[in-house]
């Protein structure tokens, strides 16, 4: 009988790929959805990679509520906690994002430990293992924790850091068979299964559509969603992964390099992609007076903070693909799914 893996938030970009790849590798999968009406779209999406017939089931559960989690964890062997609750910080309340992420992680862990699952693999973020203010450049590893008390920290980074901290603190006080491992990805790109929820892939979509008329001096550690799923499954199955954090970042590239790659590889299909780099001062001015959404990226302008993935490569045998391949595959997938008009 195949092992049963629970994936939280199956309608999400990363979670959808987790569901598909687990099915492809022979696991039975249960995934949570907040709305039972999303089950059909999830099934259709993963069907492009693997046959879910008889091996994919759904549980209705929300990270902001205790209801449904006991049933979701029944008979489960492993958990991939990928979902993160949506928060709205437009009202100026940073806790709108932080509390749901932290409390959601604890909800999943309480249910998983009560059910006696073998291991929970939780998706954190490389930003939870980074210099808090971006002021320090260089290469960091899993031994570094972002300082959540830094007042300059944006809510997303604080929420990811505090959620992972809460998870490890919970496990420190737990005495039982369930193990925890966390995976800390960089900027996730790659092919899409559906256009309903594309996450960070929206950056490439905006480039292709011409919406991004200028490119800020932002550098990203690009990791392919397929490689990210692979490291999650390796972390789930490797005895050496128990109780460990694993950075899962990829090659560092500037957004301008991504744009240039699209122009070189896609030809006419990338005709609307701008390669014009916007000066830092212009981005800061726009963030202050025109587009408040830019405020979260201004601390990273021109910074080259990088992370070491030596631990994942050594202990798990993980080998991510080149960023160029990921960016091109991402763009071609978006075009094929009709997500952008070229």
Could you list the active site residues?
160
In angstroms, the CA 300 to CA 134 distance is: 6
Cβ atoms 243, 32 nearer than 8 A: no
Local structure of 55: helix, strand or coil: coil
Q: Cα angle at 73 between 67 and 76, to 5 degrees?
A: 170
Closest C-alpha to 84, from 28, 34, 142, 134: 34
Q: How many CB atoms lie within 10 A of CB 54?
A: 7
Cβ atoms 104, 124 nearer than 8 A: no
Name the β-bridge partners of 215.
277
Burial 260-279 (b: 16+ CB within 10 A, else e): bbbbebbeebbebbbbeebe
Cβ atoms 242, 181 nearer than 8 A: yes
Rg, Å, the chain Cα set? 20
C-alpha of 339 from chain center: 20
């Amino acid at each position: 009988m195949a092992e049963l893996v629970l994936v939280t938030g199956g309608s999400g970009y990363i979670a959808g790929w987790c569901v598909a790849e687990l099915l492809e590798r022979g696991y039975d999968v249960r995934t949570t959805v907040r709305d039972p009406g999303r089950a059909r779209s999830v099934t259709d999406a993963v069907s492009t990679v693997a046959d879910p017939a008889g091996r994919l089931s759904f549980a209705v559960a929300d990270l902001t509520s205790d209801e449904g989690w006991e049933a979701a964890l029944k008979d489960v062997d492993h958990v991939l906690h990928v979902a993160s609750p949506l928060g709205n910080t437009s009202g100026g309340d940073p806790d709108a994002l932080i509390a749901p992420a932290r409390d959601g992680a604890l909800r999943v862990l309480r249910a998983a430990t009560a059910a006696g699952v073998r291991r929970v693999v939780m998706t954190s973020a490389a930003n939870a293992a980074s210099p808090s203010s971006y002021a320090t450049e260089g290469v960091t590893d899993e031994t570094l924790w972002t300082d959540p008390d830094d007042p300059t920290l944006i809510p997303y980074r604080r929420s990811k850091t505090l959620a992972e901290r809460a998870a490890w603190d919970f496990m420190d006080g737990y005495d039982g068979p369930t193990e925890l491992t966390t995976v800390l990805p960089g900027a996730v790109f790659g092919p899409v299964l559906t256009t309903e929820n594309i996450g960070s892939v929206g950056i490439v979509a905006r480039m292709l559509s011409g919406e991004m008329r200028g490119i800020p001096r932002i550098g990203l550690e690009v990791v392919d969603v397929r490689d990210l799923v692979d490291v999650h499954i390796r972390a789930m199955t490797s005895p050496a992964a128990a109780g460990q954090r694993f950075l899962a970042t990829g090659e560092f590239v500037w957004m301008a390099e991504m744009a240039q790659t699209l122009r070189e590889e896609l030809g006419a299909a990338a005709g609307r992609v701008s390669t014009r780099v916007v000066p830092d001062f212009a981005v800061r001015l726009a963030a202050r007076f025109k587009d408040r959404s830019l405020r979260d990226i201004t601390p990273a302008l021109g910074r080259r903070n990088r992370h070491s993935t030596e631990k994942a490569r050594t202990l798990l045998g993980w080998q991510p693909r080149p960023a160029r391949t990921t960016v091109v595959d991402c763009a071609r997938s978006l075009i094929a799914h009709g997500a952008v008009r070229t």
